[in-house]
């Protein structure tokens, strides 16, 4: 893909994905990273001293220095979720496309206004949900949308994690004390990935119910053992997320059950080389019973790059958006009803 030497800004560095995304961007020779704005001066100093992904880059002293640069046409929004919605609004108001890391804050009305403003200004705002580019999730979506699995009646999703209690002096902001700022805790922080997939498969839920518990007792304000239930006309989806799961990446699963068959992304779905497909009859080149469907292994860096390339392709009018603004709004609305 030709990226046309696009000049990119980067606002915020405290998101759990920020460092890895910067590492990925620095490997793309045909874009220029104009610079980084990090509002927290202590965080900026730590990055410059300790994080090679940010060392040697231009750091802006003020957001306006980045936003006023007419040569920067797009900016990544990579702050903590409690701050990044305001950052994203400023980016859009400055007339720049925005690659916005999930989830879209706690104020749904503000997010609606930002989406509307982006459409009015003909700007592209893309939520950075990496599993939109995962081979296994996309294969399941193909099977669901084509009717290959029949009528879907159940989805079960697990994306648990093991989080430290507090950030302390490290660069890691993905901790219980930061997600405690959000009512839904770990369901808010990671459930958004699963809601994005479920709404893509089944659309708008008719009812949502959540169970938000603090069972580790490490930080009392943090909901760290959670369950979300999404009800549809003929289906239920269950999202199970806890913050204290040992070897968490080995236990993550995504399961879709239909009247003609079932598809299961086995643990760990982020790096699996296959998925399980169960069918009640031989069809479409697959036989009755269990099929082991091979998948090409994708790293996080692979998914981030595909996500970014999709963002750039839309900006350059080479491809339509990977998801519509209406879908982005539905995901965030559903998340905030749950969490």
244 secondary structure, DSSP code: B
Which of the residue ranges 42-46, 170-174, 224-228, 245-249 would you say has the lowest mean pLDDT? 170-174
Nearest of 304, 315, 310, 312 to residue 15 by alpha carbon: 304
Identical topology for domains 7-128 and 135-297: no
Q: Using pLDDT thresholds of 50, 70 and 90, give the confidence band for residue 164.
A: confident
In CATH, the architecture of 135-297 is 2-Layer Sandwich (3.30)
Task: Give the mean pLDDT of 298-313.
Answer: 96
Can you tell me the distance from the alpha carbon of 276 to that of 253, in angstroms, rounded to the nearest whole number?
11
Domain limits, the chain: 7-128, 135-297
Q: What is the pLDDT of residue 172?
A: 66
179-237 pLDDT, tens digit per residue, is 999 999 999 999 999 999 999 999 999 999 999 999 999 888 899 999 999 999 999 99
CA atoms within 13 Å, Cβ hemisphere of 323: 25
What 3-state class would DSSP assign to 290? strand
pLDDT at 136 over 80: yes
The token pair that represents 333 in the structure block: 């609305």
Q: What is the pLDDT of residue 1?
A: 44
Cis-peptide into 268, omega within 30 deg: yes
Which of the residue ranges 17-31, 58-72, 178-192, 243-257 would you say has the lowest mean pLDDT? 243-257
Instruction: Tell me what percent of the residues of the chain surpass a pLDDT of 90.
Output: 87
Work out the widest C-alpha separation in the chain, in whole angstroms.
63
Can you tell me the distance from the alpha carbon of 96 to that of 115, in angstroms, rounded to the nearest whole number?
13
> 140, 254 in Cβ contact below 8 A?
yes
Can you tell me the distance from the alpha carbon of 198 to that of 257, in angstroms, rounded to the nearest whole number?
12
Q: What is the pLDDT of residue 167?
A: 60
Helices (H), the chain: 18-25, 41-50, 63-67, 81-93, 108-120, 135-146, 176-179, 186-202, 300-315, 325-338
> 148, 260 in Cβ contact below 8 A?
yes
Q: Using pLDDT thresholds of 50, 70 and 90, give the confidence band for residue 170.
A: low
Can you tell me the distance from the alpha carbon of 27 to that of 107, in angstroms, rounded to the nearest whole number?
34
Q: What is the pLDDT of residue 176?
A: 86
Can you tell me the distance from the alpha carbon of 75 to that of 36, in angstroms, rounded to the nearest whole number?
10
Can you tell me the distance from the alpha carbon of 265 to that of 213, in angstroms, rounded to the nearest whole number?
27
Beta pairing class for 236-242 and 125-128: unpaired
pLDDT at 126 over 70: yes
Can you tell me the distance from the alpha carbon of 212 to that of 296, in angstroms, rounded to the nearest whole number?
36
Q: Which fold has domain 7-128?
A: Rossmann fold (3.40.50)
Q: What is the pLDDT of residue 2?
A: 47
Q: What is the pLDDT of residue 270?
A: 82
């Amino acid at each position: 893909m030709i990226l046309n030497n696009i000049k990119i800004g980067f606002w915020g560095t405290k998101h759990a994905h920020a460092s890895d995304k910067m590492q990925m961007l620095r490997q793309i020779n045909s874009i220029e990273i104009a610079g980084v704005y990090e509002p927290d001066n202590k965080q900026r100093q730590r990055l410059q001293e300790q994080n090679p992904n940010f060392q040697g880059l231009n750091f802006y002293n003020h957001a306006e220095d980045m936003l006023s640069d007419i040569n920067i046409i797009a900016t990544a929004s990579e702050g903590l979720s409690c701050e990044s919605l305001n950052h994203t609004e400023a980016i859009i108001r400055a007339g720049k496309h925005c690659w916005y890391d999930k989830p879209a804050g706690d104020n749904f009305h503000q997010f609606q206004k930002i989406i509307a403003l982006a459409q009015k200004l003909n700007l592209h705002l893309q939520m950075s949900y990496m599993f939109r580019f995962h081979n296994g999730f996309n294969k399941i979506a193909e099977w669901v949308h084509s009717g290959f699995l029949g009528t879907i009646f159940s989805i079960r999703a697990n994306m648990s994690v093991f989080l430290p209690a507090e950030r302390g002096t490290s660069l890691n902001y993905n901790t219980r004390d930061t997600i405690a700022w959000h009512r839904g805790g770990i369901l808010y922080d990671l459930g958004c990935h699963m809601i994005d997939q479920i709404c893509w498969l089944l659309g708008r839920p008719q009812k949502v119910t959540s169970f938000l518990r603090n069972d580790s007792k490490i930080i009392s304000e943090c909901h760290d053992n959670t369950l979300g239930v999404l009800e549809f006309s003929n289906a239920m989806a269950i999202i199970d997320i806890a913050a204290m799961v040992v070897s968490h990446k080995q236990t993550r699963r995504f399961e879709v059950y239909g009247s003609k068959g079932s598809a299961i992304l086995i643990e760990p779905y982020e790096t699996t080389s296959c998925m399980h497909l169960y069918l009640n009859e031989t069809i479409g080149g697959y036989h009755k019973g269990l099929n082991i469907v091979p998948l090409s292994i994708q790293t996080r860096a692979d998914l981030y790059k595909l996500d970014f390339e999709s963002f750039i392709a839309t900006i350059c009018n080479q491809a339509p958006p990977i998801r519509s603004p209406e879908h982005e709004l539905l995901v965030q609305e559903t998340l905030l009803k749950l969490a």
